[in-house]
Amino acid sequence: MSLFDMRGEVALITGSSRGIGKATAEAMAEQGAKVVISSRKQDACDATATEINARFGEGTAIAVAANISSKDALQNLVNETRAAFGKITALVCNAASNPYYGPGLGIADEQFRKIMDNNILSNHWLISMVAPEMLERGAGSITIVSSIGGLKGSPIIGAYCISKAADMQMARNYSVEFGPQGVRVNCVAPGLIRTDMARALWENPENLKRSTAASTLKRIGEPHEIAGAAVFLASKAGAFTTGQTIVCDGGATISGGA
């Protein structure tokens, strides 16, 4: 059996109708997991679940829309997952938002709170809803999709970077709390990836040029290139990994840009 085999696993993945979340759901389904597709719009979730079921067999994926800003919606997402599959063995907190691009002094209170609520508080909510059954079972994996923004400063997406640094600390804290019961908590920190959420960054020729020049691979990343790290963390391959942040950024954080 492959170390990456996920047969018998049930993965709930937020923000999974497109981008990194969708690529992660596809990769986990390919390894045999049941997957739950969730984002704000039901039709988008349905479309992705239909694609996955067509590729990997009917019943592999279900679609449950949920707005991460609503605690009730997230509880319903968890309830529907358990009703369909009986358990949750892997949680991937991928959904996030960034409604503001610009200098930190220019951000409105409402925008700052939205970033913190959606990128930090919603993850805390979901973990609080899912972790108890994992702890009782004595096994489970929780992965937060953070960002290399949490490792450095930015004059454009500063509040987003603050929230992503907090996600890394959340993973460390919960890994300490949950580890004795066999539950692992980690982060994946992507660099600039070709997703709709990051479109404002990579569609700007100057931003794209600056980002790719500073990376050792000299290119932008693709969603499927992040999915492998998520599979690693949720499978037996990552069984001894917890409290960590796996950076997948094409070498952007270790290069001086030369």
Please name the residue that has the structure tokens 């930190």: 104
Nearest CA-CA partner of 164 in 181, 151, 180, 146: 146
Distance, in Å, from the CA atom of 149 to the CA atom of 164, rounded to the nearest integer, reads: 7
245: left (phi over 0), alpha (psi -120 to 50) or beta: beta
Share of the chain above pLDDT 90, in %: 86
pLDDT at 258: 46
Over residues 165-185, the pLDDT tens digits come to: 999 999 999 999 999 999 999
Helix axis angle for 19-30 and 42-56, nearest 10°, is 30
Residue 197 has pLDDT above 80, yes or no: no
Q: Which structure tokens are listed for 66?
A: 């949920």
Q: Is 121 exposed, middle or buried (0-12, 13-18, 19+ CB in 10 A)?
A: middle
174 as an active site residue: the answer is: no
pLDDT at 255: 84
Q: Is 156 exposed, middle or buried (0-12, 13-18, 19+ CB in 10 A)?
A: middle
Distance, in Å, from the CA atom of 169 to the CA atom of 189, rounded to the nearest integer, reads: 13
Q: What angle do CA 209, 214, 216 make, to 5 degrees?
A: 115
Pick the catalytic residue: 100, 101, 160, 174?
160
Q: Band the pLDDT of 195: cuts 50, 70, 90.
A: confident
Residue 257 has pLDDT above 60, yes or no: no
Amino acid letter, residue 25? A
The size of the chain, in residues, is 258
Helix axis angle for 122-137 and 158-178, nearest 10°, is 20
- Average pLDDT rounded to a whole number, residues 141-148: 97
Domains of the chain, each with CATH number or no CATH:
10-248 (3.40.50.720)
pLDDT at 200: 66
Over residues 48-87, the pLDDT tens digits come to: 999 999 999 999 999 999 999 999 999 999 999 999 999 9
Name 141's bridge partners.
90, 184
